[in-house]
Structure 1
Amino acid sequence: MVNYKLMITAELENLTNLQPQGGCDDPTFNFYFKLKCGSCGEVTPKEICLSLNDVVPHGKGSTNLVKKCKFCSREGTVTMVTGQGRPLTQIQSQSSHYSPLMVFDCRGFEPLDFSFGDGWQVESLEGTKFDGVDLSGGEFAEYDEKGECPVMISDLRATFDVTK
C-alpha cells in the first residue's frame, strides 16, 4: 500500500484559499489524472475521473476505483483518504509552497499528471468569493469590484508526493 498526497500550488494575485468548490473533501469534486501500472509501467492513455461519490465494493470493504491494466491485466485500486486537504493560501503561493489537496491510497497503480478542471472556489483578499472557477485553461482572471483590484490565478502546478 502506497499513499500519494496530491499537492498543488499556483500564483495567486490578490487571492487566497484556492480549493474545490465545497472544500477539500467535497464529495462531488472530480479529480482528473492518469494512472501508471505498478506491474508493467503502462500509463493510461486517457485521464481517469475520480470523486468521493464513486464507491465500489471490493473485497471486504469498498474503494473509489477498481481498474484493470489494459496491457498486463493486473487489477489495482485507488481509495481516496479524506481529512488531510487544505486550501492554498496567498502566503503559501508567495513562497512557492505546495498545499495538500487529497490523499490517494493506491494499490497496483501510481497517479500521474493531475489536471486542474472546473469546480474550484477562491476568495479575494477583500473577502469576495469566486465560485465555480474553471482552471482547465490554466488560469483565471477577474476583477474584484469590492476590493477594486484585478485578481488572477496562474502558473498552476501539481505533484503527487509519496506519504505514509
Structure 2
Amino acid sequence: MVNFMLEIKAELENLTDLRPQGGCDDENFRYHFKLKCGHCGEITQKETYVSLVETVPLPIGKGHTHLVQKCKFCGRDGTITMITGRGRPLTHADSEAAKSAPLMLFECRGFEPLDYVFRGEWEAKSLEGTKFEGIDLSGDEFAEYDEKGECPVMVSKPSATFNVVR
C-alpha cells in the first residue's frame, strides 16, 4: 500500500481558495486520472475516476473502497481508496510563491495514479470576496471580471502531481 497526495498548482490573478466546487472532500466531485499497474508497469489508455460517493466492496476481505480495477495486461487487481480531511484549497499566497496545495489523498494498492485531468466544476473567490462557481479548468484557463472588486480575475496554467506521502 502506498499513499499518493494529489497536489495542484496554478497561477491565480486576484483570486484565492481554488478548490473543487463544494470543497476538497465534496463526495460528488470526480477525480480523473490514468493508472499505472504496480506489477507490470502497464499504463491505462483511458482515464478513470473516483469519487467519495461511489464505493465497491473489497475483492478480498471486509470493507469498501472507491475503485477496484483489473490490469488489462497482467490481470492483477488493484484498489484505490480516498482518504478525506487532508486537502485544502490553493491560496493566492501559494500561487504567488509557486507552491502547490494538497487536494486529496489516495491509498493505492497495485496501482499508481498518473496524469491528473482537471475536470468538473471548481470554485474560487476574488481577493475582494466575490465567489466564482462553476469554473471550468479543462481548457487550462478561466477568466472573468469581478464587478465588486472592479478587476479581472483569472486562473491559468493549472498543473497537478501525485506525490508519495508516508
Aligned to 1:3: 3
Work out the number of aligned pairs and report it: 164
Identity in percent: 65
Aligned to 1:115: 117
* Distance in structure 2 (CA, Å) of the matches to 1:115 and 1:161: 16
The aligned counterpart of 1:24 is: 24
Deviation at 1:116, TM superposition (A): 0.6
Aligned ranges 1:53-132 → 2 under 5 Å: 53-58=53-58, 59-132=61-134
What runs of 5+ residues in structure 2 fail to find an aligned partner?
A: none
Residue 50 of structure 1, CA deviation: 1.0
TM-score scaled to structure 1, two decimals?
Answer: 0.99
- In structure 1, stretches of 5+ residues that fail to align are none
How far 1:8 sits from its partner (Å)?
Answer: 0.3
SS of aligned partner of 2:120: coil
Match of 1:46 in 2: 46
Q: Please provide the CA RMSD for this pair.
A: 0.5
TM-score, normalised to structure 2, is: 0.98
SS in 2 for 1:80: strand
